[in-house]
Amino acid sequence: MTSHPQWESRRASAARPPRTYRRWLGAVAGLTLIAVTAACSSTGGRPEATGGGIGAGQADTDPITIAMITHAPPGDTFWDMIRAGAETAAAKNNATLRYSSDPQAPNQANFVQGALDAGVDGIALTLAFPDALSGAVQQAANAGVPVVAFNAGLDDWERLGVEQYFGQDENVAGAAVGERLNEEGSQNAICVIQEQGNVALESRCAGVASTFNGNSEVLNVEGRNMPGVRAAIDAKLRQDPNIDTVITLGAPFALTAVDAITDSNSEARVVTFDTNAALMDAIEAGDVEWAIDQQPFLQGYLAVDSLWLNIYNDTVIGGGQSVLTGPTFIDESNIESIADLARSGLR
Amino acid sequence: MSVQTPAAAPPQRPQDERVAKRKLLHTVILRPELGSVLGAILIFGFFVAMAPPFRNVDSFATVLYASSTIGIMAIAVALLMIGGEFDLSAGVNVTAGALAASMIAYNLHLNLWLGAFLALFVCLAIGFINGWLVTKTKIHSFLITLGMFLMLQGANIAVTKFVTNSVSTPRVSDMEGWASARAVFASSINVGGVSIRITVLWWLVFAAVASFVLFKTKFGNWIFAVGGNAESARAVGVPVNRVKIILFMTVGFAAWFSGMHILFAFDTVQSGQGVTNELIYIAAAVIGGCLLTGGYGTAIGACIGAFIFGMTNQGIVLAGWEPDWFKFFLGAMLLLAVIGNNAIRKYAASK
């Protein structure tokens, strides 16, 4: 049986559209055909069903609104995990989360003011620019709105009259990296800063230098131009062939450093601060040896959860001390348990 | 100046007119890229002297790579600037293309080539909208594309977050089409023992095509005419609006190509990438002799501008200088290049 008669009869039975219209139909049909047959990928792609998430139920306390204000640059995977933690805690606590972020200090202060004007029940903020935000924090205290600080401001939160702090001491984390590098026998390291002048990033590298017995050097790169990052690390490895360790301060840059090492035929190994889903594969494959994790999901979660506890139970976590969420290490010894959580955005 | 409007040239044979009027020496000294060539030679000599690893051939291949990723965009941006317009959305359009290709292919389980093909429409559409709005509203392209820049910056992050539930795209290296697309957009080629990145070759190809179009075709003449004086160009029958829209779409095409390089070189794409790169493309075009006012410049000049930028960028690292001064050095180099370029142009004009 050939398809020819069938085709003829179909054509005859249908009312004929105008010629150009038919051409378009043909083109669309052709493209669709290409799409469903030749151009489908049988490997990879979005998983059919996604599990994950922490199903912790929901509190029956009265609904509250919590504002979270950070200094995050837009589109950063690390901050996305902080927000995911905050959203999870908010959902559990019958709270609405109002998230806003801006790398400029004056804009953060305005966000705090705006949150107070909107009558929120609690504020969680980062104190990357403590002095610029001290006035806004004072305003919140005057209005009787509880404030917690997280992620940035370890040295300043008490001074500003904030009661609770959740985060990592960047210096302590850097020091931990330096000590581990000593154990593993590194001699020459570069610490790649993707945002020149960022206080937290500078203190990570300073922390590394404080304990590292070998020689460590800072390399500034333009974080928003990935080919530039790759070329800069490549160039540095060529300039100094003695470099045996590349320390990056964010997961995406660790993955780029792996490429740069290949480009420059260097023998250096890569270790990094912070994680994301793609990094899990790299640690599993051994391309990146380990990541130091400050548990951003936990920071966001604790900030919101502590506000809920404070509002309904008048409790304070930490007893006037900062609550450290890191550093912990993710390496081949524990990657298996963490990788799936990281892929679903929980670690 | 060096380029005549077609008002003075019969539209049928514009090239003969231009070539015939100039003597050789005069032509050389009036080349828009002359200043940048001298600047490039100076900076090259400087780093060869200051940074021993800069003399290494492999290091130079890396310099070329860094230059090519800027240069591919700078060529298209230069054409647009010669046509008298500006595109501030060029940097984030690169990211938009990479994000679109990755997410479309990933979520619909498509071959990556089809994802790339569909992303091409996204990038061209962004260019078309820029051009269409500029020609329809007569509002300066600085404002139109600034609006597009902000919108895309937001959309890149918001759409990525909406689709992938994260601000970066998932890995696609296990999908069909990866190997062949990577070979085209992000592989390396061994040339005489030196590993050259394929973007360098594409950069040269695009530079050749752009130069050919600019100086050997009617359309090239139209670009100069539109940028020099749009009204008189219109008066002699140049389709001004169409030329401008095509130029914006050319930037869209280059953005798509650069986006594909980023996707296939880095596998996952960060949605916040690309911001501030638009200024570097424009800087490269200006260093290479393009005027901010339009009607003047070359594609080769833009390439040399990108090369100067790549050399400076890598040279500072290769020289092992104090990293805190990194951006300062970069800015000072660029400033010197532009001022030197300007001085030569003035000297040439006074002759």
A134 and A58 co-located in one domain: yes
A275 and A314 co-located in one domain: no
Q: Which CATH number is A147's domain given?
A: 3.40.50.2300
Binning pLDDT at 50, 70 and 90, where does residue A97 land? very high
User: Has this prediction a pTM greater than 0.95?
Assistant: no
Contact at CB, A76 and B310, closer than 8 angstroms: no
Binning pLDDT at 50, 70 and 90, where does residue A20 land? low
Is residue A335 domain-resident? no
What domains lie within chain B, and their CATH numbers? 50-183+195-350 (1.10.3470)
A205 and A155 co-located in one domain: no
Contact at CB, A77 and B166, closer than 8 angstroms: yes
A248 and A121 co-located in one domain: no
A149 and A93 co-located in one domain: yes
Q: What pLDDT was estimated at residue B24?
A: 66
Residue of B nearest to A265 (CA): B58
3-state secondary structure string across chain A: CCCHHHHHHHHHHCCCCCHHHHHHHHHHHHHHHHHHCCCECCCCCCCCCCCCCCCCCCCCCCCEEEEEEECCCCCCHHHHHHHHHHHHHHHHCCEEEEEEECCCHHHHHHHHHHHHHCCCCEEEECCCCHHHHHHHHHHHHHCCCCEEEECCCCCCCCCCCCCEEEECCHHHHHHHHHHHHHHHCCCEEEEEECCCCCHHHHHHHHHHHHHCCCEEEEEECCCCCHHHHHHHHHHHHHHCCCCCEEEECCHHHHHHHHHHHHHCCCCCEEEEECCCHHHHHHHHHCCEEEEEECCHHHHHHHHHHHHHHHHHHCCCCCCCCCEECCCEEECCCCHHHHHHHHHCCCC
Q: What pLDDT was estimated at residue B16?
A: 53
Q: What pLDDT was estimated at residue A8?
A: 44
Torsion, Cα B42 B44 B45 B49, to 10 degrees, reads 140
Is residue A13 domain-resident? yes
Is residue A345 domain-resident? no
Q: Is the pLDDT of residue A6 over 90?
A: no
Binning pLDDT at 50, 70 and 90, where does residue B237 land? very high
Contact at CB, B277 and A230, closer than 8 angstroms: no
CB B270 within 8 A of CB B156: no
Average pLDDT over residues B327-350: 79
Q: Of A275, A293, A311, which closes a domain?
A: A293
A82 and A229 co-located in one domain: no
The length of chain B, given as a count of residues: 351
Beta strands in chain B (DSSP E): 188-191, 194-197
Binning pLDDT at 50, 70 and 90, where does residue B29 land? low
A30 and A120 co-located in one domain: yes
Is residue A342 domain-resident? no
Q: The tokens of A169 are what?
A: 């001491």
* Residue A12 CB neighbours (<10 A): 8
A299 and A285 co-located in one domain: no
B55/A contact by beta carbon, under 8 A: no
Residue showing tokens 């049928």:
B12
Q: Is the pLDDT of residue A14 over 50?
A: no
Is residue A339 domain-resident? no
Measuring CA to CA, which residue among A68, A70, A48, A63 is closest to residue A95? A63
Q: Is the pLDDT of residue B329 over 90?
A: no
State the amino acid at position B347 in one-letter form: Y
Q: Is the pLDDT of residue B86 over 50?
A: yes
Strand order in the sheet with A122-125: A95-101, A64-70, A122-125, A147-150, A164-167, A323-324
Q: Which of A82, A219, A226, A261 to mutate to test the interface with B (most CBs of B within 10 A)?
A: A226
Q: What pLDDT was estimated at residue A9?
A: 44
| Phi, psi for residue B270 in degrees, rounded to 5 | -85, 130
A97 and A210 co-located in one domain: no
Distance CA A21, CA A8 (A): 19
A276 and A305 co-located in one domain: no
CB B230 within 8 A of CB B84: yes
* Distance between A237 CA and the closest CA of chain B, angstroms: 9
Percent of chain B with pLDDT over 70: 91
A197 and A104 co-located in one domain: no
Which residues partner with A101 through β-bridges?
A70
Contact at CB, A225 and B277, closer than 8 angstroms: yes
Q: What pLDDT was estimated at residue A125?
A: 95
Contact at CB, A230 and B265, closer than 8 angstroms: yes
In chain A, the number of structural domains is: 2
Binning pLDDT at 50, 70 and 90, where does residue A129 land? confident
Is residue A180 domain-resident? yes
Measuring CA to CA, which residue among A28, A30, A35 is closest to residue B114? A35
Burial (CB count within 10 angstroms: exposed 0-12, middle 13-18, buried 19+), residue B264? buried
Contact at CB, A76 and B272, closer than 8 angstroms: yes
Residues sharing a CB contact under 8 Å with residue B191, sequence separation 6 or more, in sequence order? none
Percent of chain A with pLDDT over 70: 89
A207 and A60 co-located in one domain: no
Is residue A24 domain-resident? yes
Q: The tokens of A144 are what?
A: 């009787």
Distance CA A22, CA B350 (A): 63
In tens, the pLDDT along A157-207 reads: 999 999 999 998 888 999 999 999 999 999 999 999 998 877 788 999 999
B180/A contact by beta carbon, under 8 A: no
* Residue B127 CB neighbours (<10 A): 30
CB-closest option in A40, A193, A264 to B109: A40
Q: Is the pLDDT of residue B91 over 90?
A: yes
Is residue A241 domain-resident? yes
In tens, the pLDDT along B118-158 reads: 999 999 999 999 999 999 999 999 999 999 999 999 999 99
Domain span at residue A256?
170-293
